[in-house]
Amino acid sequence: MSFDVAAIRKEFPILLREIDGHPLVYLDNAATTQKPQCVIDALVEYYTTNNSNVHRGAHRLADEATRNFEAARDIVKDFINAPAREEVIWTTGTTEGINLIANGLGQLLSTGDEVIATGMEHHANIVTWQQACKRAGATLKIVPVTDQGDLDLEIYAELLNERTRFVAFPHVSNALGTVNPIKEMTKMAKAVDAWVLVDGAQGAAHAKVDVQDIGCDFYAFSGHKIYAPMGIGVLWGRAELLENWPVWRTGGEMISTVTLQDATWNVLPHRFEAGTPNVADAIAMGEAIRWLQSLDHEAVVAHEKALLDHATNLAEAFEGLTIIGQAKHKIGVLSFVMDQGHPADIGFLLDRQGIAIRTGDHCAQPLMARFGVPGTARASFSIYNTLEEVDALFAALKKVRSMLA
């Protein structure tokens, strides 16, 4: 199977937009990806033909909605190679999935226990553990980031010990694009019997995810970074852990029995899915994954690598520009600063030329502090981007440099 980027682009109606008379060059994919027409159609189909709550309705619409909703769960199960569909928990996104686990962890930790995170975390994967440790009187340890933007695995090995109860790290850094050796890191954590959570927000968008091969206990990711709508995501966890993990929210669907004095909890996955679920977006997420899996994965990987390699080569030759994060193994992200201008100014002036990037600390303030910058300008690439768009970015940056000089 071949990869035809021109054909792919035709499936994304938003790419036809113009910004101030310029064709849209969308390079903010690490924040959110655009949606193919089939995903948009899935949303419209649900709301126009079988809009209904799921699981308990005794009518045709509820039956159709339930079957489509649960079919999407099966699609996710296969996408990440989960052992069982009951281990796939619908969430609002990566942040909620991580908070679900952190809420329970705060109740399971004791004084003297240790939790390990890293210096490249998104705030969602460090603030949560800070709070869990504070509630329990446990200690949070941090794996440092090298000058190149890799995790220091030697120090990670030194931090692991018999007191380590939990380890969390990102599959891919949202701010640097660094791809972490998550299988190796998981194996190291398992040697001291620690639980492992992988923040897969960026990983699921670019890499094949096999939770059984990784060996982790939890993997969380968001729909909107893999061409699905915002407001939907997945937490995968081992059934033997989730079955006894403290519940996250209480309400309808997640209960088994209720009296005026007490309640018991439902089985997985419903135990963690209180209230009316986001049915339409779950169905659309299933469609997004189906669409993504219809593509030649190796061709997609090669295309995205070509984009990043081309951007990196142009950046290295660009006077006054410094790349932040130069790990050997990167995916999809070029984060940089320029001698002229604050990242916010760079982003504003690029937008006037139709080029959309992200600027700021990327919800990774400790990482920005590690590199001594207030923030960066971040161009992030996806399936539908082209080499010509990379050229357009650097042509626009030359204008930005002249305007800020």
Q: Please write the tens of the pLDDT for every residue from 253-277.
A: 999 999 999 999 999 999 999 999 9
* Residue 167 one-letter amino acid: V
And the tokens for 88? Answer: 């796939």
Preceding omega of 170 cis (within 30 degrees of 0): no
Q: What is the mean pLDDT of residues 216-230?
A: 98
Q: If pLDDT is split at 50, 70 and 90, which confidence band does 2 have?
A: low
5 closest CA partner among 41, 227, 15 = 15
Pairing verdict, β 376-380 and 333-338: antiparallel
Helix (H) or strand (E) holding 167: strand 164-170
Residue 3 has pLDDT above 90, yes or no: no
Helix (H) or strand (E) holding 156: helix 153-159
Cα-to-chain-centroid distance, residue 216: 16
Task: Say how far apart CA 377 and CA 310 lie, in whole Å.
Answer: 17
| Residue 365 confidence (pLDDT) | 98
Pick the catalytic residue from 38, 133, 216, 363.
363
How do residues 352-405 score in pLDDT, each as one tens digit? 999 999 999 999 999 999 999 999 999 999 999 999 999 999 999 999 999 998
Task: Say how far apart CA 391 and CA 373 lie, in whole Å.
Answer: 26
| Residue 304 confidence (pLDDT) | 97
Task: Say how far apart CA 9 and CA 6 lie, in whole Å.
Answer: 5
Task: Say how far apart CA 288 and CA 40 lie, in whole Å.
Answer: 9
Angle, alpha carbons 235-240-244 (nearest 5°): 85
Residue 134 has pLDDT above 70, yes or no: yes
Q: What is the mean pLDDT of residues 119-127?
A: 97
Task: Say how far apart CA 281 and CA 223 lie, in whole Å.
Answer: 9
Q: What is the mean pLDDT of residues 280-299?
A: 97
Has 133 been annotated as catalytic? no
Judged on CB neighbours under 10 Å (0-12, 13-18, 19+), 351 is middle
Q: What is the mean pLDDT of residues 338-350?
A: 96
Please tell me the pTM assigned to this model.
0.97
Residue 1 has pLDDT above 80, yes or no: no
| Residue 291 confidence (pLDDT) | 98
From residue 246, alpha-carbon distances to 33, 101, 199, 235 in Å are: 33, 9, 20, 15
371 closest CA partner among 324, 332, 339, 330 = 324
| Residue 311 confidence (pLDDT) | 98
The answer to whether 190 and 196 are in contact (CB under 8 A) is yes
Residue 25 has pLDDT above 90, yes or no: yes
| Residue 340 confidence (pLDDT) | 86
Task: Say how far apart CA 351 and CA 80 lie, in whole Å.
Answer: 36
338 closest CA partner among 329, 352, 350 = 350
Task: Say how far apart CA 55 and CA 195 lie, in whole Å.
Answer: 32
Q: Residue 321: beta bridge partners?
A: 338
Could you please report the per-residue DSSP string of 195-222?
A: EEEEE-TTHHHHS---HHHH--SEEEEE
How do residues 300-329 score in pLDDT, each as one tens digit? 999 999 999 999 999 999 999 999 999 999
Helix (H) or strand (E) holding 282: helix 279-293
| Residue 405 confidence (pLDDT) | 82
Angle, alpha carbons 38-41-45 (nearest 5°): 135
315 closest CA partner among 337, 296, 291 = 337
- Percent of the chain clearing pLDDT 70 (strictly above): 100
